[in-house]
Amino acid sequence: MYEGYESDMITTSVTLAGVQFKNRVLVASGTYGYGDDTIELVDVSKLGGIITKSLSMKPRDGNPPPRIVETAGGMLNSIGLANIGVHRFLTEKLPFLRTLDTAIIANIAASSIDEYCNVLDALEAEKGINGYEINVSCPNVKEGGLSFGTNPTMVEEITRRLRSRTKKLLSIKLTPNVTHISEFARAAESAGADALSVINTLIGMGVNIHTRKPMLSTVTGGLSGPAIKPVALAKVYEASKAVKIPVIGIGGIMNANDAIEFLMVGASAVQVGTANYIDPGAGIKIAEGIRVFCEAHNLSDVGDLVGSLDAKTEFSAISSWL
Amino acid sequence: MYEGYESDMITTSVTLAGVQFKNRVLVASGTYGYGDDTIELVDVSKLGGIITKSLSMKPRDGNPPPRIVETAGGMLNSIGLANIGVHRFLTEKLPFLRTLDTAIIANIAASSIDEYCNVLDALEAEKGINGYEINVSCPNVKEGGLSFGTNPTMVEEITRRLRSRTKKLLSIKLTPNVTHISEFARAAESAGADALSVINTLIGMGVNIHTRKPMLSTVTGGLSGPAIKPVALAKVYEASKAVKIPVIGIGGIMNANDAIEFLMVGASAVQVGTANYIDPGAGIKIAEGIRVFCEAHNLSDVGDLVGSLDAKTEFSAISSWL
Amino acid sequence: MIQSLCTVHNVEQVAENIFVLTFISPHIASVTKAGQFVNIRVAEGVEPLLRRPFSVCRTEGECVEIIFNVVGKGSSVLRKKQSGDLIDVLGPLGVPFSLFEDDFDTGVLVGGGLGVAPLPISTATLVARQKSVSTFIGSRSKRQLVKNHLVNVHVATDDGTEGLHGTAVDLLKKHSDEYRYRRPKIFACGPTKMLHAVAAFAIANSIPCEVSLEGPMACGFGICQGCPVELVGAERKYALMCKEGPTFDVRRIRI
Amino acid sequence: MIQSLCTVHNVEQVAENIFVLTFISPHIASVTKAGQFVNIRVAEGVEPLLRRPFSVCRTEGECVEIIFNVVGKGSSVLRKKQSGDLIDVLGPLGVPFSLFEDDFDTGVLVGGGLGVAPLPISTATLVARQKSVSTFIGSRSKRQLVKNHLVNVHVATDDGTEGLHGTAVDLLKKHSDEYRYRRPKIFACGPTKMLHAVAAFAIANSIPCEVSLEGPMACGFGICQGCPVELVGAERKYALMCKEGPTFDVRRIRI
Ligand SMILES: Cc1cc2nc3c(=O)[nH]c(=O)nc-3n(C[C@H](O)[C@H](O)[C@H](O)COP(=O)(O)OP(=O)(O)OC[C@H]3O[C@@H](n4cnc5c(N)ncnc54)[C@H](O)[C@@H]3O)c2cc1C
Ligand SMILES: Cc1cc2nc3c(=O)[nH]c(=O)nc-3n(C[C@H](O)[C@H](O)[C@H](O)COP(=O)(O)OP(=O)(O)OC[C@H]3O[C@@H](n4cnc5c(N)ncnc54)[C@H](O)[C@@H]3O)c2cc1C
Ligand SMILES: Cc1cc2nc3c(=O)[nH]c(=O)nc-3n(C[C@H](O)[C@H](O)[C@H](O)COP(=O)(O)O)c2cc1C
Ligand SMILES: Cc1cc2nc3c(=O)[nH]c(=O)nc-3n(C[C@H](O)[C@H](O)[C@H](O)COP(=O)(O)O)c2cc1C
Ligand code: FES
Ligand code: FES
């Protein structure tokens, strides 16, 4: 590394579990549809990757309105995983996605382990998908609706079952609504996950005090956006300290500086979610902003930022007196 | 209830475990010092109650700077429970607090169960304290710094030990950094707690990307302020559904509308924290705002708001597909 | 649909608490059809975090007008914009009113409160296509009434300070002779309660009717699934308000 | 210390990216002592959430002046305040410089960058008490230099565009003959690095010295414990910057 380092010589790409990403910025599941709604607005091929909306076996209508409410620095959603189902995805969306020059990760949601497997099998049969992200923040019908993602044994079992069915990139998307996310990170790693996606939304709610009704039809929903960034950073830090596999950082990333914070605490890549609603080109701008930061700091590879936090103190989520 | 209901006939007071609060708005621990710093600015006797900064047996210096950082809609802190210790509190602060016409709740923090007991014993010996709030978000030295508050057995044991030593109001302040706060709520209730204080701060962190250092000297800290209100509401809703004892709602309350949301989801009273830094009179304004809301809605008692949420759906923190 | 930084031309108060903001966008001004909307990022930062959708009220040359009343975070910020400020606008979005079809001769425009927003641009389209126009608007009082750029206007106010003492729907019923025998089609925008009444009236009288809906949106163009509208007896349960609306034939949806 | 809504008198640019905001507060104007600060709620809502502390720069009649450069959320909002706007001000806060003591004859004022903020009010006090004043200020360049309301000023710039090509500390050393035999006491404000150097110089030369510190604050008056300053060899480890500072004798603290 020397002063006049050529900007075009900065390595932005990264290979995770055999998949090459042209940069470390992906768009998060549920915040970019199936990648085909923004083509009038942005050159989506400039993204590191696109994670699809969660796909279930059958199409899902989703929850009744209201599904969205803005909060201080964030938003709550209760979409109910509305999606077109894996088969319509394969026939109606995948052909277009194949034309893009970016990594395509299919996100899978299900209400039973068998459903996870069936959706994955359906996707495995087709070309054009680079890997899978598994949304474990789904109610496990067998256990009375308790989320898979809050039970480490379930996370381990889902991972093991899916691992045995695919050699493609398999990332488990963890929920932050647990005491020790490291426990879940280790469970997924031990069962063969290639990566972890951290975090999904925080559980939250709001009340319309005039009608006395919850702001969301389902009472509680998922909190996302800048408000959750500090929590997401702490979870990514905790998870990435606990495992050797790469962690993909998610939560409240609005600009390149936010993304760089995630890289520094240990994320190998990041996903941009809520920011896409405000600026559908956010992901591309963030990727470019990270590159410019590296240039300014004479780094030859964006990867040099990963885990570069200068923290003398040990991980203190638990041991510091708050 | 009829149209021309007299405003001065609205009941604002409430008795919880024998302690009368003139209104349902208290100031939260660590956000109002020992109640003596704001006397030039506001008439603190108009508050429903004052919760002291957490008191430990010996004085605590607290953590090195930086201890504070602003985030989107919130702030992170890592004070390290800096406090003057219970003995100086009794001699230097309590005499003044006794002169106030408001409820005084001493908040206790400790690194061992014995320390919790010793602090409580020291406080029991003196007049002028109406009750105790127990901060269980403290590292348990015996268990290598794991927080007491993330282990239901510990919460139960602390509650039981303290319950046997006092007949005064005993509220256990729960941490939100757990999978199921209801489990902790029930543990505290079964061990004899009179009330629950919900929530303490969320674990979060921030990075200064220019220095690559954590924003807080302890790496992670506690997130508070409006950003966490949706999470706090969901936790209060979950906790209050799980127990019969009153829940005191805390988290991001900035104005009367926020406080009313907490009452509606099931809180019997609320605490105002971060808002005090921005407006030391916030608690009093909020109490007045709640009264005005009741007046406008022809309610004769602020208590009519408590748990008045009109939610057809069952508690769905877990069962809704996020 | 494009995303672009547009220059604010001016912000003008037109009634009590009601403002018209004009911004410059040759593209949006030229392609927007009546009933479409724009999604505006009113501020950088998080207050407010999300864009705010506004019906296009009128276009003229390179200028686009929106009309709004100041109720919350977004509108308070917009109100303070000054000539020359830049705003980030996404649009035009959504499905327009079907003003270009030949299944009607008289456009019956109904607006309640700020539901008048899409009526000026609708009027311009109808007039250009030489359709008859009957307009019925209601507001709380004379002070909140906005009648600019409308034709053949009947007015109602809740407090009777101008026009009929009643609602836009009362007007619609009262003056039905004006349009009912002239192949009418109703285009309505306003509070849900009003749309409900308009739809009931239209269905009872077999008058074709489209309404423009409002509701929470995160993205405004289909990537969040945040804006479901319940469909009647369709193969799907919900349509997306932003992408398949905000205008809907009343027979398709449950308002 | 009072909390009150104060009317903004005006905001004026005084150098590159540097502004002076004047607000009206008879109380704060009359009781504030040099080195004290005010804590301003720059906006309602959450952007920014916390108040922002600013040294009082000068008072005149009922007016209070602060000086700031636009670096982030708070200062960007403040810069746009207009005459007549109201701001919520808490103050005066903190412990002033000990300008009223008799342990010195010459006040040596040192300011780096926006560290000049408390120097005008300090100058006024010293002049009124008929002390000698020597002033040393440094800035990045001539364009960021603010010399108003100071006396006997020596200037340094990092880029040499005005005065000495160097720092305020270089000036302080260079011109030490001006004050060293006249019972000096140094009062300094500026970046930590500069204060460090000033303190080292003062201690090495046995000149009494007070510095005004800066750092993150949540409340500004003692209720959050968020602003520790490390003490040297005291019975306690930390003092609170807001309540026991922001001015400290350099021998008391670890900068
Ligand atoms: C397709 C579409 C087109 C639109 N077109 C227009 C238009 O042309 N003109 C226009 O003005 N708006 C229009 N809107 C609405 C607009 O997008 C904003 O919602 C509106 O301007 C308010 O935004 P805000 O940020 O100012 O208020 P927000 O801060 O979002 O808050 C809304 C206000 O409503 C209040 N509120 C919410 N619920 C209740 C309740 N139950 N009781 C009492 N108060 C409540 C809140 O207190 C708040 O003051 C449209 C919306 C859509 C979806
Ligand atoms: C007692 C006291 C007195 C003060 N007096 C004055 C005064 O008289 N005048 C004055 O201007 N200020 C003064 N300050 C500082 C002032 O309170 C604000 O911190 C300052 O105005 C910036 O606030 P902001 O909201 O504009 O910036 P913020 O939004 O709070 O951000 C601060 C800026 O610093 C940047 N930043 C932070 N860390 C780094 C880093 N490591 N590298 C690069 N950039 C970084 C951020 O990007 C941001 O732009 C004083 C502070 C104290 C405690
Ligand atoms: C409206 C909305 C819908 C979402 N849908 C999904 C989904 O289908 N599957 C999933 O795994 N995550 C989903 N998420 C979570 C995001 O992918 C992301 O983890 C979360 O929003 C945090 O990132 P952010 O703060 O950048 O938005 C959704 C988020 C939002 C806001
Ligand atoms: C600076 C700071 C210090 C705090 N200190 C304590 C403490 O000593 N003991 C405690 O139980 N809670 C402490 N808290 C937590 C608050 O009492 C409250 O639970 C939390 O801040 C959430 O409420 P809020 O969002 O209204 O601030 C502290 C919070 C802050 C911001
Ligand atoms: S608002 Fe996002 S899909 Fe309609
Ligand atoms: S800033 Fe709160 S104690 Fe100093």
CATH code: domain of residue C147:
3.40.50.80
Q: Is A37 part of any domain?
A: yes
- pLDDT for D254 equals 93
The total of structural domains in chain A comes to 1
Clarify whether residues D83 and D152 are in a common domain. no
Q: Closest Cα to atom 38, ligand 1: which residue?
A: A208
Whether C101 is in a domain gets the answer no
- Which secondary structure element, helix H or strand E, spans residue C183, and what is its range? none
Q: Which residue in the block uniquely carries the two structure tokens 């808490």?
A: D90
- Asked, for residue B113, whether it belongs to a domain, the answer is yes
Which one of C3, C215, C220 has the shortest CB-CB distance to A65? C215
- If you average pLDDT over residues A213-239, what whole number do you get? 97
Residue nearest to atom 11 of ligand 2 (CA): D68
pLDDT at A9: 87
For atom 6 of ligand 3, the residue with the nearest CA is A30
pLDDT value of residue B167? 97
Here the ipTM equals 0.96
Query: Does a structural domain hold residue A1?
Result: no
A200's torsion region: left (phi>0), alpha (psi -120 to 50) or beta? beta
Tell me whether residue C247 is in a domain: no
Name the residue at shortest CA distance from atom 18 of ligand 4. B200
- B195-211: pLDDT as tens digits: 999 999 999 999 999 99
pLDDT at B2: 42
Give residue-wise pLDDT tens across range D177-234: 999 999 999 999 999 999 999 999 999 999 999 999 999 999 999 999 999 999 998 7
Q: Is B1 inside a domain boundary?
A: no
pLDDT in tens, B62-94: 999 999 999 999 999 999 999 999 999 999 999
Is there a single domain that holds both residue C83 and residue C118? Answer: no
Nearest to C73 by CA among B260, B278, D43: D43
pLDDT tens digits along A90-110: 999 999 999 999 999 999 999
Instruction: Determine which helix (DSSP H) or strand (DSSP E) holds B222, and give its type and residue range.
Output: strand B220-224
Are C143 and C200 in a shared domain? yes
Which of C66, C93, C120 represents a domain boundary (last residue)?
Answer: C93
Q: Give the residue from A172, A173, A175, A149 showing the smallest Cα distance to A159.
A: A172
Q: Let me know whether D39 and D82 are in one domain.
A: yes
pLDDT (0 to 100) of residue B240: 97
pLDDT for position B318: 40
Report the percentage of chain B scoring pLDDT > 70. 94
Q: CB D22: neighbour CB atoms within 10 A? A: 19
Q: Which is it for strands D63-69 and D58-60: parallel, antiparallel or unpaired?
A: antiparallel
pLDDT at A8: 65
Q: CA-CA distance, D162 to D140, in Å (whole number)?
A: 10
Tell me the CATH number at A260: 3.20.20.70
Q: How many CB pairs under 8 A join C and D?
A: 8
What are the phi and psi torsion angles at D139 (to 5°)? Answer: -150, 170
CA-nearest residue of chain B to D4? B41
Is C252 inside a domain boundary?
no
For residue B257 the two structure tokens come to 């509308």
Q: What per-residue confidence (pLDDT) applies to B146? A: 83
B117 catalytic per annotation:
no
Q: How far is B203 from chain A (nearest CA, A)?
A: 6
Q: B41 lies in which domain range? A: 6-319
CATH number of D20's domain: 2.40.30.10
Same domain for C81 and C111: no
Ligand 5 environment, Cβ below 6 A = C 217-220, 222-227, 240-242
Q: Is A284 in the pocket of ligand 3 (CB under 6 A)?
A: no
Strand partners, A133: A107, A171
List chains touching A (3+ CB pairs under 8 A): B, C
Q: Which of D55, D72, D60, D58 is nearest to D17 (CA)?
A: D72
Task: Give the list of residues 6+ apart from residue D101 with CB closer than 8 angstroms, or none.
Answer: none
C117 in contact with ligand 1, CB cutoff 6 A: yes
User: Do residue B322 and residue A78 have CB atoms under 8 angstroms apart?
Assistant: yes
Q: Which residues contact C229 (CB under 8 A, 6 or more apart)?
A: A65, C213, C215, C238, C239, C240, C241, C244, C245, C248, C253
- The model's pLDDT over D72-98, given as tens digits with 9 standing for 90+, comes to 999 999 999 999 999 999 999 999 999
Measured from the Cβ of residue C235, the count of other Cβ atoms closer than 10 Å reads: 6
Residues of C in contact with A79 (CB under 8 A): 224-226
Domain co-membership, C136 together with C36: no
Q: What letter would DSSP give residue B60?
A: B
pLDDT higher than 90, residue B232: yes
pLDDT at B138: 87
Number of domains in chain D: 2
The fraction of chain C above a pLDDT of 90, given in percent, is: 98
Q: What is the pTM of this model?
A: 0.96
D244, part of any domain: no
Q: Is the CB of C78 under 6 A from ligand 1?
A: no
CA–CA gap between residue A222 and residue A220 (Å, rounded) = 7
What residues in A contact B200, CB-CB < 8 Å? 322
| Average pLDDT value over all residues in chain C | 96
Write out chain D in H/E/C secondary structure: CEEEEEEEEEEEEEECCEEEEEEECHHHHHHCCCCCEEEEECCCCCCCCCCEEEECCEEECCEEEEEEECCCHHHHHHHCCCCCCEEEEEEEECECCCCCCCCCCEEEEEEEHHHHCCHHHHHHHHHHCCCEEEEEEEECCHHHCCCCCCCCEEEEECCCCCCEECCHHHHHHHCHHHCCCCCEEEEEECCHHHHHHHHHHHHHCCCCEEEECCCCCCCCCCCCCCCEEEECCCCCCEEEHHHHCEEEECCCECC
- Put simply, the answer to whether D46 touches B226 (Cβ < 8 Å) is yes
The reply to whether D112 falls in a domain is yes
Confidence at C255, pLDDT banded by 50, 70, 90: confident
* Residue C58 placed within a domain: yes
Q: Does residue C155 surpass a pLDDT of 60?
A: yes
Task: Give me the helix-helix angle, B256-265 and B282-296, nearest 10°.
Answer: 70
- Contact residues, chain C to chain D, C-beta under 8 Å: 45-47, 73
Stretch D166-182: mean pLDDT, rounded?
Answer: 94
Tell me, yes or no, whether C184 lies in a domain.
yes
Rounded to an integer, the average pLDDT of C211-237 is 94
CA-based nearest residue to B305, from B316, B289, B283, B317: B289
Q: Is the distance from the beta carbon of residue A229 to the nearest atom of ligand 3 less than 6 Å?
A: no
Q: Which amino acid is at C72?
A: G
Where does the pLDDT of residue D235 fall: very low under 50, low under 70, confident under 90, or very high at 90 and above?
confident
pLDDT by residue (tens digit) across C57-101?
999 999 999 999 999 999 999 999 999 999 999 999 999 999 999
- Cβ neighbours of A30 in C, within 8 Å: 224-225
What average pLDDT does range A284-299 have in this prediction? 97
Q: Are residues D111 and D88 in the same domain?
A: no
* CB of residue C75 inside a 6 A radius of ligand 1: yes
Q: How confident is the model at residue A318, as a pLDDT? A: 40
Supply the pLDDT for residue A102: 97
With a 6 Å cutoff on the Cβ, whether C191 touches ligand 1 is no
Q: What is the pLDDT of residue A139?
A: 84
Binned at pLDDT 50, 70 and 90, residue A313 comes out as: low
**Distance between alpha carbon D206 and the CA centroid of its chain, in Å?**
23
> Closest-CA residue in chain B for D45?
B73
Is A164 contained in some domain?
yes
Average pLDDT over residues C190-196: 95
Same domain as C205, residue C174: yes
What confidence score (pLDDT) does residue B8 get?
Answer: 65
- For C46, the closest of A61, A73, A277 (CB atoms) is A73
Lowest mean pLDDT among A244-248, A310-314, B85-89, D91-95: A310-314
Instruction: Tell me the mean pLDDT in the region A273-301.
Output: 97
Q: Distances from the Cα of A118 to the Cαs of A56, A60, A107, C82, in angstroms? A: 9, 16, 13, 56
- C-alpha of residue B67 to centroid of ligand 4, in Å: 13
The C-alpha of B50 sits at a distance from chain D's nearest C-alpha, in angstroms, of 13
**Residue indicated by tokens 């083509």:** A39
Distance CA C7, CA B306 (A): 48
Kindly list the residues from chain C whose CB atom is less than 8 angstroms away from the CB atom of residue A69: 216
pLDDT on residue A145: 78
Q: Which tens digit of pLDDT belongs to each residue from B253-291?
A: 999 999 999 999 999 999 999 999 999 999 999 999 999
- Going by alpha carbons, the residue nearest to atom 21 of ligand 4 is B224
Query: Can you give the pLDDT at residue A141?
Result: 79
Which residues span the domain enclosing C82?
Answer: 2-93
In percent, the amount of chain A with pLDDT more than 70 equals 94
Residue B4: pLDDT band (50, 70, 90) is very low
CA-only gyration radius of chain B, Å: 19
Where does the pLDDT of residue B315 fall: very low under 50, low under 70, confident under 90, or very high at 90 and above? very low
Q: How many CB atoms lie within 10 A of CB B61?
A: 15
Whether residue B200 has its Cβ less than 6 Å from ligand 4: yes
Residue A107 Cβ < 6 Å to ligand 3 = yes
Q: Is B209 in a helix, a strand, or coil?
A: coil
The answer to whether residues C153 and C209 belong to one domain is yes
Candidate of D36, D71, D87, D139 to mutate for ligand 2, largest count of ligand atoms within 8 Å of Cβ: D71
Span B99-125, average pLDDT: 97
- Cα(A61)–Cα(A67) distance, integer angstroms: 12
State percent of chain B over pLDDT 90.
Answer: 90
CA of A53 to the centre of ligand 3 (A): 9
Nearest-ligand number for the alpha carbon of D239 = 6
- Nearest Cα of chain A lies from the Cα of C246 at a distance, in angstroms, of 15
SS3 B211: coil
CB of A61 less than 8 A from some CB of B: no
Q: Is the dihedral of CA C67, C71, C75, C80 positive or negative?
A: positive
CB contact under 8 A, C45 and D45: no
Nearest CA to ligand 1 atom 9: C68
Rounded to whole angstroms, the Cα distance separating B242 from D209 reads: 60
Q: How confident is the model at residue D234, as a pLDDT?
A: 74
Residue-wise pLDDT tens digits, A82-91: 999 999 999 9
Chains that touch C (3 or more CB pairs under 8 A): A, D
Q: Tell me, yes or no, whether D225 lies in a domain.
A: no
User: What percent of chain D has pLDDT above 70?
Assistant: 100
A62–C216 CB contact, under 8 Å: no
Cross-chain residue pair A62–C225, CB shorter than 8 Å: yes
pLDDT, mean of residues D122-141: 96
Looking from the CA of D196 toward its CB, the CA atoms found within 13 Å total 5
Going by C-beta distance under 8 Å and a sequence separation of 6 or more, which residues neighbour residue C141?
Answer: C157, C158, C159, C161, C162
Residue D94: which region, alpha, beta or left (left: phi > 0; alpha: psi -120 to 50)? left
